[in-house]
Amino acid sequence: MNIFEEEQYRQAELNTRRQFLRKCISGMGGIALGSLMGSTLSSCGRSSDGLGMLRDSANPMAALPSHFVPKAKRVIYLHMAGAPSQLELFDYKPDLQKLDGLDCPPSLLEGKRFAFIKGTPKMLGPQFNFKQYGQSGAWMSDRLPYLSDCVDDMTFLKAMHTDEFNHAPAQLLLQTGSARLGKPSMGSWVTYGLGSENQNLPGFMVLVSGGKTPSAGKSIWGSGFLPTVYQGVQCRSKGDPVLYLSDPKGMSKALREQSINAINDLNKRQFEEIGDPEIMTRISQYEMAFKMQTSVPETMDIKDEPEYIHKMYGTEPGQSSFANNCLLARRLAEKGVRFIQLYHWGWDAHGAAKSEAINHGFKNRCQEVDQPIAALLKDLKQRGLLDDTLVVWGGEFGRTPMRENRGGKEMKFVGRDHHLEAFTTWMAGGGIKPGMTYGETDEIGYYGIKDRVHVHDLQATILHQLGLNHEKLTYHFQGRDFRLTDVHGEVVKKIIA
Amino acid sequence: MRKNIYLILFLQIISTPFLYAQGLDATEEPSDLWLFIGRFHPLIVHLPIGFILLAFLMELMAKMPKFRHLEQSVSFVLFLGILTSVGAAVFGYLLSLSGEYQGSTLDWHLWLGLSTLAFAIIALVLKLKQVRTAYFAFLSASVICLTFTGHLGGNLTHGSDYLLRYMPNSLRAMAGMPPKPVKTTKQITNLEEAIVFDDLIKPIMDNNCESCHNAEKTKGDLRLDIKEGYLKGGENGPSLVPGQPAHSELIKRVKLSKDHEDVMPPEGKKPLSKEEIALLEWWVTNEASFDKKVAEVDVPSDIKEILDELVNPKKANLSPVYAKDINPPSEKEIEKLQDLGFSISPIAAQSPFIQVSHLISGVALDDEKIKTLGKVAEQTAWLNLGKTVLEDGQNFSFLQDFKHLTKLHLEKTAVKDADIKYLTKMEWLEYLNLYQTEISDKSIEQLKGLKRLRKIYLWETQVSENGRESLQKTHPELLIIAEGLPKNFEAKTNTEDSTAIAAK
């Protein structure tokens, strides 16, 4: 059967009762019916904000206006998967040092659930020396010597808290607003709401380092119920940046272009018949893939960066590292990519093995990220990009002030358990007040006692800086409007410049 | 049978005003049962409205031959209207016993409602007696009374400005009404001299509480439109305990969770913001004084922040240029520019101003692109031409039309000192990025003319330290970023291992 016959057959198929009933069973009929009854967006994905935030499915990445004048145009989110210890980096607790090695009072343990702590753990003081830095006098440990030069550009949220104490649900909650699978990630929401400035690159790009993807898997940059065109595109910093972008053997670029055009013509006809928005997504993905053949390699090739930049970031072309990803993040920001998500794995310092001990693995992690992040901040600032780029750094939760005692025994290495009541996240640029510390934890860093910020509040604040009202950025799905912050979230107004 | 019905109706009409008048003098509390029934008044009132209007409509329609048959049913419908009117009147009377509604509006509502009923009864009697003209006159009178009654009822429920609050000025002019009063919240200029209650608290109460707690509508026996009302309180005693917000009903109620039964303002109305609640609490803490000035009371830091926000709203953060009234760019031009490779979108929903960026590297700006771009020059607020190459023979003179720019990216372009004169008209420019260009000290004098400039990027340009200093002198608020990155990066020697454990 040649391609034209196939097309005819497809057309005929759509008109048979048997086919229709069969598709009804599989749910396609539902989609078809829904879309026949109105525009392709009326059945699902109708935005009910009345602010003209209606997506033309033919051009899903077209730049759209925000709800109000934005301070930031893009986000670089540095997620330290596994959750770094705030008590060894930013949240200095000298009083905890005095309690070091003493039994934890039962009042802190009653009614609490921990991932691993059993019985009565011992308190664990800060493991590294702290000092105040910069004009703002922010406390920082000696593990981040490079970043401590940048404190006056940073804003610390010291009393962050979350609802989940296991990696995957906490990462999902942070990135998608829900601990269960199936919700769109922050980057997807943002690209859905604002589109992208550069039509030759995906609007939402993901760079992963540290040897593993985060525990929650690729769902944390998935698009959930939004059209799949808004999901994050993962780029590798080693080898082909995006797999299968290069032309297969014996296939010229021109032929590839013709094939894609032909496939898209067929898809367009199919879309006119059925109206399933996913078809438009497929079309734009094909087009995007073709554009990316030239745009991605030129963006992802860091060889043309001057030597001093490589030195500053600590990058080596061809390597896969967090440093390379930071430099790539700056290049993507320059290109107008809307949401750049970096994941660095291996921060889960329980102390159960050398690689995950505060006195070994954690130190290596700090060394891996310290120089590149500082370089990224300075680099963005020099280029005038920090003004409208919001940089966010943080883990999915914090770590306990108690030393982990897996199975109730003291372990050989030093570590801390997961902790959801208090952790530190910092932001820089993008219209956030620089050089400020917001929020406070108690003497031992166990609870936030002032200006607590929930994960949903952080999401609301990030959207706010992009000019989006988190209560109005909605998507109609399963009969109700969904949003990133669900029914929560308050913009942290006090940290906005 | 019919006579009996007439008798009952007649007694009803005669007795209601007496009952009402008696109710006004009654000092004893009406029983719960009466109030419970009274609350069904809003439910039942809509029935007579429907029936009587329907009867009137049917009568009109029946004048047409095609609808002649409707005439048979008019008396039935009208009878239903009368029956339900009686119910509505009784329930309404019981509702008025609650004392939540007072004043002349209520009196008018009552008498007009009864007139509606009376006219409807007379109309029905005349209809049955076949007196056509008089019948129609009374039916019309009933409908007119009905309209006014309904309107007043709405005013009682929602407040007297409910109906016309959003009437557009064009319609107001047609109706010969004065234009919509612009809500002037007295802008506080001198915070220290502001009266806490009058200037800070009363506006909150007027916006959120006063519509249900006033002279005409006194929900829960509480009036918040006059100062006496606060201390006198309502059903649940005084609304305030000066100095003790935790024991003040007013504060307790506004702090309840959104879905709590007793939360004020009630469910469905806009809840108070965190800041508003904080201000109320602060006022009660300070003895709920009605005449003290801000300077005379203690102002904690978090309240100070809220007050500063009130005095100088953060909106001033945004350039005033965005408030300018200009025509939005034409769709056609926008589409053309998008086809030419520009990324364009409004800077915010509903704003005529746009952001334009040209991010495709390696594509030069030719004559066509520059000409098309010039057509949206007036609307462009943010222009990003970073890394953009001009085609041979083109120059940057097109920039002089962009007089509303607030952000301009010219980094990594061939812009020269001679081109800076095209920027001097940009009186709104706040952000200028010139890094990696050939700009030198020669441009400094012209850059000084940009009065609103807040940030300028001069890294990797020819501008010397002296040039930067002289610019800084005239623009003390300007942030000049030119330091650049260290060409010879010094690695920090690894800090001593300060691990407490390592010492062991």
- Kindly report, residue by residue over A279-324, the tens digit of the pLDDT: 888 888 888 888 888 888 888 888 889 999 999 999 988 888 999 9
Query: Scanning every residue of chain B, which has its alpha carbon at the shortest distance from the alpha carbon of A372?
Result: B491
B312 at interface of A, judged by CB pairs closer than 8 A: no
**Chain A residues whose beta carbon lies within 8 Å of the beta carbon of residue B344:** 63
B249 at interface of A, judged by CB pairs closer than 8 A: no
Query: Under 8 Å CB-to-CB from B263, ≥6 apart: which residues?
Result: B253, B254, B256, B257, B271
Tens of pLDDT, residue by residue over A413-458, are 999 999 999 999 999 999 999 999 999 999 999 999 999 999 999 9
State residue B504's pLDDT score. Answer: 44
Beta bridge partners of A448: A441
User: How far apart, in Å, are the Cα atoms of B237 and each of A34, B229, B250?
Assistant: 56, 11, 11
Tens of pLDDT, residue by residue over A90-118, are 999 999 999 999 999 988 888 888 889 88
H/E stretch holding A481 reads strand A480-483
State residue B146's pLDDT score. Answer: 93
State residue B175's pLDDT score. Answer: 75
Measure the CA–CA gap between B75 and B80, rounded to whole angstroms.
9
Q: Residue A41 above 50 pLDDT? A: no
Which of B348, B386, B481 has its CB closest to that of A381? B481
**Chain A residues whose beta carbon lies within 8 Å of the beta carbon of residue B305:** 494
State residue B179's pLDDT score. Answer: 72
Residue type (1 letter), B371: K
Which of A195, A198, A387 has its CB closest to that of B359? A198
Query: Under 8 Å CB-to-CB from B261, ≥6 apart: which residues?
Result: none
**In A, residues 275-294, which contact B (CB 8 Å cutoff)?**
none
Tens of pLDDT, residue by residue over A139-155, are 999 999 999 999 999 99
Residue type (1 letter), B273: S
Give the phi and the psi of residue A340 in degrees, each rounded to 5. -115, 120
State residue A24's pLDDT score. Answer: 63
H/E stretch holding A208 reads strand A204-209
Query: Under 8 Å CB-to-CB from B259, ≥6 apart: which residues?
Result: B267
Per DSSP, the three-state class of A78 is: strand
Of residues A320, A256, A321, A260, the one with CA closest to residue A287: A260
Indicate yes or no: CB of B485 within 8 angstroms of CB of A378: yes
Peptide bond into B346 cis (omega under 30): no
A335 at interface of B, judged by CB pairs closer than 8 A: yes
Beta bridge partners of A78: A342, A393
Measure the CA–CA gap between A105 and A96, rounded to whole angstroms.
13
Each residue's pLDDT, cut to its tens digit, for chain B (504 residues) gives: 566 666 666 666 666 655 555 554 444 566 778 888 888 998 999 999 999 999 999 999 988 888 888 888 898 999 999 999 999 999 998 888 877 777 788 888 999 999 999 999 999 999 888 888 889 999 999 999 999 999 988 888 887 777 877 777 777 777 777 776 665 556 666 777 788 888 888 888 888 888 788 877 778 888 888 888 887 878 777 888 888 888 888 888 888 887 788 888 887 777 888 888 888 888 888 888 888 888 888 888 888 878 877 776 555 467 788 888 888 898 899 999 988 889 999 998 888 999 999 887 678 888 889 999 999 999 999 999 998 988 888 889 999 999 999 999 999 999 999 999 999 989 999 999 999 999 999 999 999 989 889 999 999 899 999 999 999 999 998 999 988 777 777 777 655 555 554 444
Of residues B264, B239, B234, B236, the one with CA closest to residue B249: B239
Higher-confidence residue of A334 and B275: namely: A334
Which of A69, A379, A384 has its CB closest to that of B457? A384
Of residues A431, A348, A418, A347, the one with CA closest to residue A389: A431
Residue A138 and residue A130 in contact, taking contact as beta carbons nearer than 8 Å: no
**Chain B residues whose beta carbon lies within 8 Å of the beta carbon of residue A142:** 495-496, 498
Residue A50 pLDDT class (50, 70, 90 cuts): very low
Cα B385–Cα B390–Cα B391 angle in degrees, nearest 5? 150
Per DSSP, the three-state class of B344 is: strand
- Residue B365 is classified by DSSP as B
State residue B2's pLDDT score. Answer: 62
Measure the CA–CA gap between B373 and B379, rounded to whole angstroms.
10
Sign for the pseudo-dihedral over CA of B109, B110, B115, B117: positive
Measure the CA–CA gap between B111 and B117, rounded to whole angstroms.
10
**In A, residues 115-174, which contact B (CB 8 Å cutoff)?**
125-129, 142, 145-146
State residue B429's pLDDT score. Answer: 93
Which of A53, A129, A359 has its CB closest to that of B501? A359
Instruction: Work out the percent of chain A whose per-residue pLDDT is above 70.
Output: 91
Residue B134 and residue B126 in contact, taking contact as beta carbons nearer than 8 Å: yes
Instruction: Work out the percent of chain A whose per-residue pLDDT is above 90.
Output: 60
Beta bridge partners of A432: A496
Query: Under 8 Å CB-to-CB from B187, ≥6 apart: which residues?
Result: none
Residue A80 pLDDT class (50, 70, 90 cuts): very high
Query: Scanning every residue of chain A, which has its alpha carbon at the shortest distance from the alpha carbon of B431?
Result: A384
Which of A53, A142, A336 has its CB closest to that of B498? A142
- Residue B423 is classified by DSSP as G
Q: What is the mean pLDDT of residues A344-364?
A: 91
Query: Under 8 Å CB-to-CB from A89, ≥6 apart: which residues?
Result: A140, A141, A143, A144, A366, A424
Indicate yes or no: CB of A334 within 8 angstroms of CB of B386: yes
B435 at interface of A, judged by CB pairs closer than 8 A: yes
